[in-house]
Chains A and B, each alone.
Chain A
Amino acid sequence: MAVNNEIGTINDITTLAKITHKFGAYFHSDIVQAIPYLKIEAEKMGLDFFSLSAHKFNGPKGVGLAYIKPGLKIKAQIVGGGQEENHRAGTHNLPGIIGLAEALKIAYKERSSYLKNVRTLRDYLWRSLNKEIKGLKVNGCLKSRVPANLNIMFGSIEGEAILMDLAYKGISVSTGSACSASNLKSSYVLRAIGLEAYNLNSNIRFSLGKYNTKKEIDYTIKALKETVARLRSFSPVKTPAKSKSKTKK
């Protein structure tokens, strides 16, 4: 992944591609989370393959894009027809393809103003939450991440409970943790960045988009403050005593 899907941190795929090539292997990257935050230059970055799907940048659902470096050949993914040079049988989803291309164009055309706006909102959200609610921590580096992502550790309250409580107030957030999945596995990403086992189930991801407004962020701050206070009021686990969480700006 060029950008991590849970914590939004930016990975140095250029270096990773170099290392991969040193061992004679090809390099593929899922770059969907990087749109439009990073400028993708396949050749310069050493990407042999990359893939993305349209719905992550306001394009239509059900259509994706695969890049294959000219000269490389891959095995057919769906056999049975000659479409896409024998790589993927089946009729093209033409409206999907046009939608994806158009969404991609718009995303990069509006890139600089979007980045500025979304960063302002995201930073405002974090600043306010950190001020209003005690014991919060950002998962992953705040600086080296895309400006639309905020992944917060709450401690002492469970992620899915936060999610459900917010859902009831009309706010959609995400948790990759135990309770939202059919299995009981917590996020391998959070585990990999060193979260203690007992903290793996109390994290929420906020993903902002180009249609979010300051009014919505203000509402979210107010709602979240109430949600956290309610859930903490009957948690058997004590709220972490940290007076101030680490904030990297």
Chain B
Amino acid sequence: MALNYTKKTLDNFLKPKNIGKISNPDGYAQVGNMTCGDQLDFFLKVEKGKIKDVKFLSFGCASNIATASILTEKVKGMTVIAAKKYPWQKIVSELGGLPTQKVHCSVMAVQGLKKAIENYEMEEEKKGKKGKKKPVLKKVKAKVKVKKTKTKTKVK
């Protein structure tokens, strides 16, 4: 059975934008898996806090491909902060609506992009830590960890 997709959704499925890989990405994330029936891999290139390039790979249905395609189109050039907040509702309206059972695809797409940005931010943070504050931060972390383990043992 074929679902009632809009022309724009079909266009983005048949000719998806930004499809493929980026080698040595600044950010990368995978959401979903084959068992669930859909999976997206996002690759990011960031320059001066802005998304310079974004690409994706998909194991998924037509709307999985279309939602990721439109999302990557929309966030290219945005700051990572703004892109992280891109709402899934906007994807749905950009596509002119999605069948009810396919709305989750748009949620998954924004989650995947967010995860890729977080991955980028984490890598950036790591790079930062390697600079000045490294020893201080380590101490604080170690203290917190000890506390946590103690409470855990008590509960058990």
Contact = CB atoms under 8 A, between A and B. Distances in A.
A158 B37 contact: yes
B3 A198 contact: no
Contact of A184 (B20, B36, B40, B56): B36
A182 B101 contact: yes
Contacts of B41: 236
A168 interface: yes
Contact of B61 (A160, A197, A198, A200): A160
A236 B58 contact: yes
A168 B13 CA distance: 11
Contacts of A201: 34-38
B97 to A, nearest CB: 16
B27 interface: no
A237 to B, nearest CB: 5
A234 B58 contact: yes
B71 interface: no
Interface in B12-58: 13-14, 16, 19-20, 30, 33-41, 56-58
**Number of chain B interface residues as a range:** 20 to 34
Interface string A132-158: 000000000000000000000000111
Given A158-B38, A234-B57, A181 B101 contact: yes
B142 interface: no
Contacts of A236: 30, 39-41, 57-59
B60 interface: yes
B57 A197 contact: no
Interface stretch (A18-26, A35-43, A172-180, A212-220): A172-180
Contacts of A159: 61
Interface majority SS on B: helix, strand, loop or mixed?
mixed
B35 A164 contact: no
Contacts of A197: 35
Given A234-B19, A234-B58, A236-B57, A178 B37 contact: yes
Contacts, number: 83
Nearest to B5: A164
B155 interface: no
A182 B35 CA distance: 17
Contact of B65 (A161, A181, A186): A161
A10 interface: no
Contact of A167 (B2, B36, B65, B100): B2
A225 B39 CA distance: 22
Given A158-B61, A236-B57, A179 B1 contact: no
B83 interface: no
B61 to A, nearest CB: 4
A12 B25 CA distance: 56
B76 to A, nearest CB: 17
A163 interface: yes
A235 interface: yes
B64 interface: yes
B101 A177 contact: no
Given A158-B59, A165-B13, A234-B20, 6 more contacts: A158-B37, A179-B38, A234-B19, A234-B58, A235-B58, A236-B58
What 8 A-B pairs are tightest by C-beta distance, nearest first? A178-B37, A160-B61, A179-B61, A236-B57, A198-B34, A201-B37, A164-B62, A236-B41
